[in-house]
Amino acid sequence: MSIWTRISDALAALRQGEPLSAVFDRLRAPPDRSVAFTIAVIALGAKMAKADGQVTRDEVTAFREVFTIAQEDEAAAARVYNLARQDIAGFEDYAAKVAAMFDAPDGPLADVLEGLFHIAMADGDYHPAEDAFLARVAGIFGMSERAFQRLRARFVPDAERDPYDVLGAEPGMALPEIRRLWREGVKESHPDALRARGLPEEALALAEARLMALNRAWEQIQGTRGAA
């Protein structure tokens, strides 16, 4: 059974007229967390797409890059997206539901934000309304300003990409300590670790961008320290 079939089943289980946001109350524990993660990214992504006043073909295509959607599952995925766009509940209600479900600003919540950043950048234009949207969602998730800026720097071309920020390190740290942070980041981005946090198989491509950013930051720091 694909994750999209499971999502459709979850939606079908709702009583008629119940808003999509109520789904989150039903998906707090494994194995349904992968369903919850998928609904969270699609629902918040649908709300974010309205933040800049338009839903572009690129933003819709971005869902295909975050999630592998088989042809037979397209209708179910579209249904979730459309329900989220039509739901009268605001994005803050959705974000609060997701935050309550995962409990901590790192791990799955950071994964959700990564998916949203990927979608926001799909059309090549990071709109100020999207930035405000994501910053507010990060705040509801309990993410610190520095953590949000570090995540933002991975995706937004004009954002300052400080390699120390990417790794969560300080410039004064010894190289072995920075290497430890890099190794921990790589370990946390392993597909097995992401599965354990609730990412579905369909969304594991998100780990590739994270690994590239971590490795690039480590190489930059190594090169700078070596030159010094």
The pLDDT tens digits along the chain (228 residues) read: 567 777 766 666 554 556 666 666 666 555 566 777 777 787 788 788 776 555 555 555 666 667 767 777 777 777 777 777 776 667 888 788 788 777 666 677 888 888 888 888 877 778 888 899 999 999 999 998 888 888 887 778 666 667 888 888 888 899 999 999 999 988 888 877 777 776 766 666 667 777 888 898 899 898 887 654
Our measurement of the distance from residue 128's CA atom to the centroid of its chain's CA atoms, rounded to an integer in Å, reads: 18
Whole-model pTM? 0.67
CATH code: domain of residue 9: 1.10.3680
Judge residue 215's burial from the number of C-beta atoms within 10 Å of its C-beta, 0-12 exposed, 13-18 middle, 19 or more buried.
middle
Q: Domain span at residue 134?
A: 3-160
CA dihedral 184, 139, 29, 16 (to 10 degrees): -150
In a domain, 19, yes or no: yes
Instruction: Compute how many other C-beta atoms are within 10 angstroms of the C-beta atom of residue 90.
Output: 11
In a domain, 175, yes or no: no
Say how far apart CA 74 and CA 79 lie, in whole Å: 9
In a domain, 60, yes or no: yes
In a domain, 180, yes or no: no
In a domain, 195, yes or no: no
8-state DSSP, 87? -
In a domain, 197, yes or no: no
In a domain, 193, yes or no: no
Angle formed by the axes of helices 57-66 and 33-49, nearest 10°: 160
Q: Please tell me the total count of domains within the chain.
A: 1
In a domain, 147, yes or no: yes
Q: Which helix (H) or strand (E) holds 105?
A: none
